[in-house]
Structures are given as C-alpha cells and as structure tokens.
Amino acid sequence: MLLMQRTEMLRARWAQFTGWARSRPFIGGLLTVLGGVEIFFSGQLDIGKIHVQLGIEGFQATVIPIALLLLGLLAMLMPVHRIFYGVIALVLAVYSLVGVNLGGFLLGMLLSSVGGILIVSWAPKPVPAADDAAPSAVSDETSREALPLVRGR
C-alpha cells in the first residue's frame, strides 16, 4: 500500500515537472548549463606540471563559464527574457572559442551554442482565445455572397 502511494506521488510530481519544463526553454537552458560546466572544468585542467589555461590571467576561464551557467538557469526560470539570455549565451559561447581553451575543447562551445539557439527559438504555446474556440455562425454561402466577384482574364 505504501509503495503504491509513493509511486502515485512520484507520477504526480513527474507530471508536474514535465508540465513546468514544457512551459519554458528547458532543454536549451540545460544544454547551456552543461556547456558552461564543461568549459569551466576545461579551464581548470591540470596535466602533470602543465596548466592549460588561456586568457587574461585565467579571469575569462572563470567568468565565461559562470555567466553561461547563470544564463542557462535564468532562461529556465524566467522565460519572458529568453531572447536576451539566449543571445548573450550564444555570444559568450562563440567567444569562449578564443577566450577559454578552444571553448572547452569545442564540446562546451557546441553545447552552449546549441543551447543558446534553442533558448532563442523557443516560443510558448499560444493560448486559444474564447472567440477562436466558438465555430463561426456564418455559412459558406453567406460568406461567398459578401465577397466581391473576381473574374479571371
């Protein structure tokens, strides 16, 4: 009995989460966050005595990934501003190619770029208005009579 209650509660929570995720650019934000995390760890890479890091004293290797992480989270939490967040994430992802170890060895740049594109291109589903839901009371014959007759040449 307890197991059935937990599975029902889990299904209800999953349905609630999927409803929430569908109402915002969730996949794009998630990809941007993952790209930022990958770029961050590629900037902190240590190979023996070689420290792989490009940029102004490692400042870019810290700021760019944190900014990408925040932009991905903000796009998921505030979808109204998704175009602004997506464009900035896309610009930072492309700039990370130059600023941070080839954009996290290309993988972080690609993840963040695709995420930024998905954030910008996401649009909420239109809510049907009350007028659109009601069928038209005008018949086809009435509407044909109202239109002017156009003759071909």
Report pLDDT digits (tens) over 41-74: 887 766 677 666 555 657 888 899 999 999 999 9
Of 84, 105, 89, which is closest to residue 29 (Cα–Cα)? Answer: 89
- Residue 50, SS3? strand
Q: Is residue 88 part of a domain?
A: yes
Residue 125, pLDDT score: 83
**Confidence check: pLDDT of 131 > 70:** no
In whole angstroms, give the CA distance from residue 101 to residue 81. 30
Q: Which domain holds residue 97?
A: 24-122
pTM for the full model? 0.75
- The number of distinct structural domains making up the chain is 1
In whole angstroms, give the CA distance from residue 54 to residue 43. 8
In whole angstroms, give the CA distance from residue 95 to residue 97. 5
Q: Is residue 148 part of a domain?
A: no
In whole angstroms, give the CA distance from residue 113 to residue 93. 6
**Confidence check: pLDDT of 26 > 90:** yes
In whole angstroms, give the CA distance from residue 44 to residue 32. 19
In whole angstroms, give the CA distance from residue 65 to residue 56. 15
Q: Is residue 133 part of a domain?
A: no
Q: Confidence class of residue 3 from pLDDT cuts 50, 70 and 90?
A: confident
Q: Confidence class of residue 21 from pLDDT cuts 50, 70 and 90?
A: very high
